[in-house]
Amino acid sequence: MSKLHLVFGGRVKDPMTLEFQDPNQLDVVGIFPDYASAEKAWRGAAQRTVDDAEMKYVVVHLHRLLEPDLEA
SS (H, E, C) 29-65: EEEECCHHHHHHHHHHHHHHCCCCCCEEEEEEEHHHH
- In this structure, the number of other CB atoms found within 10 A of the CB of residue 41 comes to 19
> What pLDDT score was predicted for residue 71?
61
Q: How confident is the model at residue 56 (pLDDT cuts 50, 70, 90)?
A: very high
pTM recorded for the entire structure: 0.86
Asked if residue 1 has pLDDT above 70, the reply is no
Asked if residue 72 has pLDDT above 70, the reply is no
Q: Give 16-52 pLDDT, tens digit per residue.
A: 999 999 999 999 999 999 999 999 999 999 999 999 9
HSE of 35, CA atoms in CB hemisphere, 13 A: 4
> Which residues 6+ apart lie within 8 Å of 10 measured at CB?
20, 21, 22, 23, 25, 26, 27, 55, 56
The structural domains of the chain, with segments of one domain joined by +, span: 5-70
Q: Which CATH architecture has domain 5-70?
A: 2-Layer Sandwich (3.30)
